[in-house]
Amino acid sequence: MSILVTGGAGYIGSHTVVELLNNDYEVVIVDDFSNSHPTVLDRIKELTGKDFTFYELNLLDKENLQNVFLENDIEAVIHFAGFKAVGESVSLPLEYYHNNVTGTIVLLEVMKEFNVKNIVFSSSATVYGMDNKAPFTEDMPTSATNPYGYTKVVIEHILEDLAVADNEWSPILLRYFNPIGAHESGRIGEDPNDIPNNLMPYITQVAVQKLEKLSIYGDDYDTPDGTGVRDYIHVVDLAKGHLKALDYSLNHTGAQAVNLGTGEGYSVLDVVHAFEKANDIKIPYEIVKRRPGDIAVGYADPTKAKDLLGWEAKHSLEDMCRTSWKWQKNNPQGYKE
């Protein structure tokens, strides 16, 4: 029996595949390399000493996806594949809805055809929208501020509706907070296309002198130092959360949304200072105007993950800063060496 990992060559996907292989799961990866690089597959093998099956494939290619299910005995799916750049989604809404939503529908149709009804889905804390007050709990109403966020909201609804229509389905909707950090080895990590949109990869590219200075989007929020507050979570903690969610899905039915966060909020300046301290590097920055669509404060109530899945984040912000830098320093061009 194998676990199918869509988007398994991506940042969170690759860290999750390492955990799966280290826990003796058989893994099949599907990835189209739209935002990832083939080198990561060699690194995963190097780190785990284990092999897996790989298909270069976009989920919209139904016929070839059916072949994956014909050729492998798939027990459950961990579904990461999707476009994820908030700003780009505003310029390319049709591409985002088609790739993320239609791609997921095709995947679910094929799963149904092959009677595979366990799925762990990469959702996002972005579904808490602008109007909820942190700490966010899973029962809060969901919404979004951009097409990327709406694809997550819509896919959550599709999975919940599926579990209502057929009580054999067990979708787990994992709402990630802000994943940063990298594998302790420094061999796999986050490798954004172009200029990073997110805070930590931007900081590490300033540290490696690919970028001149960090722009901090606003210091006039209603937060202790005026900069935005988020719940940063180590990607390896996040990856381990997927194994717990998989286990839960395989042993229960019905849909569950679960936050994966630490429950701690840190400001942009906290992260900059933690990075400087952990790595003994100065990060030049300037304060610029707010970025449209950003909330002031977002962090998880992580109680449900603990009660339902038996999962808790373990790594400190210092670990996250240290491993993010180790990855970037050892791989200044990411996987594109």
Is residue 244 at the binding interface for ligand UFG, with CB under 6 A as the rule?
Answer: no
- Residues 11, 25, 128, 148: which is the catalytic one? 148
> 218 in the Ramachandran plot: left (φ > 0), alpha (ψ -120 to 50) or beta?
left
The token duo for 260 is 């994966």
The token duo for 69 is 């299910």
Q: Which of 96, 169, 202, 325 binds ligand UFG (CB under 6 A)?
A: 202
Query: Could you tell me which of 164, 59, 161 has the C-alpha nearest to residue 107?
Result: 59
Q: Using the rule CB under 6 A, give the single segment among 132-140, 214-222, 312-320, 324-332 that binds ligand UFG.
A: 214-222
Cβ neighbours, 10 Å, residue 91: 10
Closest to ligand UFG by CB, 64 or 197:
197
Q: Is 148 a catalytic residue?
A: yes
Total number of residues binding ligand UFG (CB under 6 A)?
21
Q: Which residue is nearest to ligand UFG (CB)?
A: 228
Structure letter (DSSP) for residue 30? E
**Strand pairing of 266-267 and 229-230?**
antiparallel
Is residue 215 at the binding interface for ligand UFG, with CB under 6 A as the rule?
Answer: yes
Q: Which of 33, 54, 114, 217 binds ligand UFG (CB under 6 A)?
A: 217
Closest to ligand UFG by CB, 32 or 88:
88
Q: Which of 61, 276, 294, 301 binds ligand UFG (CB under 6 A)?
A: 294
At 151, which helix (H) or strand (E)? Answer: helix 147-165
- CB of residue 285 to ligand UFG, shortest distance in Å: 8
Query: Could you tell me which of 271, 190, 187, 192 has the C-alpha nearest to residue 238?
Result: 190
| Contacts for 161 with CB less than 8 Å, ≥ 6 apart | none
Is residue 197 at the binding interface for ligand UFG, with CB under 6 A as the rule?
Answer: yes
Is residue 137 at the binding interface for ligand UFG, with CB under 6 A as the rule?
Answer: no
Spatial distance between the Cα atoms of 180 and 172, rounded to a whole number of angstroms: 22
| Site residues for ligand UFG per CB under 6 A | 84, 86, 124-126, 149, 178, 197-199, 202, 214-217, 228, 230, 268, 291, 294, 298
